[in-house]
Structure 1
């Protein structure tokens, strides 16, 4: 490494780390970034395929009108698709009658309102469901997509905070969200890929970072690893970070995975349509068909469905997805679907899952996780944001905030971004 005593080291080159690097790069400080993966972007990753770019991680500019990545995309000349999504509409009502769709969405709407207006005393989101409702399994499927876990493990307060802050602007980047995020890393930041942090400790003056290629001793560190990594054992952390590690364990990553199926030849799959595999199965897939007119189907798995994919492997996950689509569109489509690529976030050691949710009673852990330690260690990442957690724009905002805190601690004015 060229600089073993930089001013600031950033651990993790995901959306939060990149946002922090952008904030720091204009302040005449030496900045080193360590990334365990062989690419920047973290949980944002656009796979370039012959069929077109495919986002295996975040793929939508949620709350697009106020999303800072929207502005960066505009400045960089990326095309933004601001059209409506096909979510919430079952193509030709296949396997999900129109009246049933209306009832299911009404059940979800009532549940969401109860969380906001009369949240359960236990803070357990499952206790806001209606007893004996025929749509509880559907709500569990939605909870898997939204939070990556079952309603029994979701904080009602945490969910309501996100729901209140979010908007209906869900936009897309044909070039890929991961493409934008990775391309936004400043060129003057010293990036080291495939270099996982092994241990962090503190001496009297500096933070000591141990890697397989040597030791760095920065003046300050911004940690933007996932909550599962912070709470886990892959990195040796000092006991001083125990409160932060406990907060991280109270904000676990849910399970979310994506599969892409290539469509071969003529088929009944129409562009920009959507189906849910089985609205009565909590582990069912959500299928976005031919996004941007491309010959692919994007399958999104959450909660139980994603855990099954991680436990059984991608071959079994592809087979289950094809079975669900065949059940809706007919046996003839089986020969028209070919597995293309699948994510494996759960078993990626430097990540460990999808995105964070607060366990019941633990929404305040986000405040704890975002606090600095001794004005030397600062924390960023979607899990540190009170309302925009689980998103790339929440990660961005947290990276800017952590960088400003680090600049102030080092005696540099935090430049307006």
Structure 2
């Protein structure tokens, strides 16, 4: 829980959004002795990192994996903050009980995926950009399954992804989790940040020497501004700039949010299932979900729904996720299996007004590192408006630690613009 503070009338730097990026930026600014306030529209901090307890179990409705954990700055920060980092390998590469897919088919799928990745890397090395799906094997047996996994991993199918942007993502293959919850970690890291909750930013007047930021709680004047809002909010002009910033709106539209939704279900008779097992519903369609069995050994199943499937189910309402999961799991585990399940929580990031999606992807033609959407988003505006978030990360987009690192990057830019040497407050710089 962040410290309750009032909206100041004047500040050096205002940060909009108290997610991973906003919290990181605020911490870095405070370290430099810069006065800062974080303006958050929700009644909580964390953004799309959100842990909710159900029946004593911490459930991550947003990000849950410390991707590239051997390089992930939040692993060390989390341990230092007293959180438990679980190093159990994810179950993504196997199917529990070999249901619906033989061991030989699982090997064949792994080979098809590796060959696709190699074609992507070769095309990117040539500078080719286009839909990543053009590098599928025509009529390939595993194309639909790859799109299903892309839906969960990228929030969109491969036909919607830029070859260059997809190739730019860096993945060490090491993935850990936070036992107490990834969202709980981010909330703890922001506990002492100067955050004003329930403070929606409506308009930013940039016509004067200082920025005038109009919020639902009043107006604050700032020398500089760090925007950590989702691209969906920026593209839809959920926050209005006067004079307008059409280039920012266009860049945000070039890195739209896809959707990945989660459904947590209590499981009766959980003992017969493997700890950290994995099931995918079907292999012949992208309209299928992945099911993590007994994460951390807990008596639950965590369902993942991505891309078009997630958008369609969200449009029908929360109950549609549970109905879909029951149908798929009944096909795999027997018609009576749904009687053993009970819905605990469902994420609805696409419908949530302060996110309107889960995480960003870049469409074909927008993926160049120097001129593409992410690079354009990172460019400072008038040396006093800086944009940060997972969408501005060229190599760790879609991740909590990517957002964290981008928050620090934007903070250093803001500190420098104020005439302060950021190295003086950064022990790692010496």
What is the deviation of 1:118?
Answer: 2.6
Q: 1:147 aligns with which of 149, 154, 157?
A: 154
Residue among 85, 97, 103 paired with 1:80: 85
Q: Choose the corresponding residue for 1:198, options 199, 202, 219.
A: 202
* Structure-2 residue corresponding to 1:39: 44
Deviation of 1:412 (Å): 1.5
> Shift of the alpha carbon at 1:51?
4.5
Alpha-carbon distance in 2 for matches of 1:156, 1:238: 36
Structure 2: give runs of 5+ residues left out of the alignment.
1-5
Q: What are the Cα deviations for residues 23-51 of structure 1, in whole angstroms up to 9, with x where unaligned?
A: 01122222111111111000100111214
Please give the secondary structure, in 1, of the residue aligned with 2:93.
coil
Measured on the aligned residues, the alpha-carbon RMSD in Å equals 1.4
- Asked if the contact 1:251–1:358 (Cα under 8 Å) also holds between the matched residues in 2, the reply is yes
- Equivalent residues in 2 for 1:61-140 (5 A)? 61-119=66-124, 121-140=128-147
CA contact (8 A) 1:51 1:294 kept: no
Aligned-partner SS, 2:343? strand
1:396 maps to 2:404: yes
Corresponding residue for 2:275?
A: 271
Is the Cα–Cα contact under 8 Å of residues 267 and 336 in structure 1 kept in the other structure? no
Residue number in structure 2 paired with 1:341 = 345
2:307 corresponds to 1:303:
yes
State the shift of 1:212 in Å. Answer: 1.6
| Contact 2:128/2:163 (<8 A) preserved | no
The 3 A distance-change label for structure 1 pair 295 and 186 is closer
1:12/1:42 contact within 8 Å kept: yes
> Match of 1:15?
20
Matched-pair contact (CA < 8 Å) for 1:267–1:333: no
CA distance in 2, matches of 1:39, 1:212: 16
Q: 1:255-303 deviations in whole A, cap 9, x for unaligned?
A: 1110001112456433210100112120211100111111110001111
1:64 aligned counterpart, secondary structure: coil
Cα distance per residue 1:298-328 (max 9 Å; x no partner)? 0011112211221111101111101111111
Counterpart-to-counterpart distance in 1, 2:247 and 2:84: 43
Measured against aligned partners, the alpha-carbon deviations of 1:335-383 in whole angstroms (never above 9, x if no partner) come to 1100110001001111110111111010121111001111111111011
Unaligned runs of 5+ in 1: none
Give the drift of 1:190: 2.3
Displacement after TM superposition at 1:112 (Å): 1.0
Residues in 1 aligned to 2:243 and 2:137: alpha-carbon distance in whole angstroms: 44
Alpha-carbon distance in structure 1 between the residues aligned to 2:220 and 2:283: 51
How many pairs are equivalent? 414
State the TM-score, normalized to the length of structure 1: 0.96
Match of 2:35 among 25, 30, 37: 30
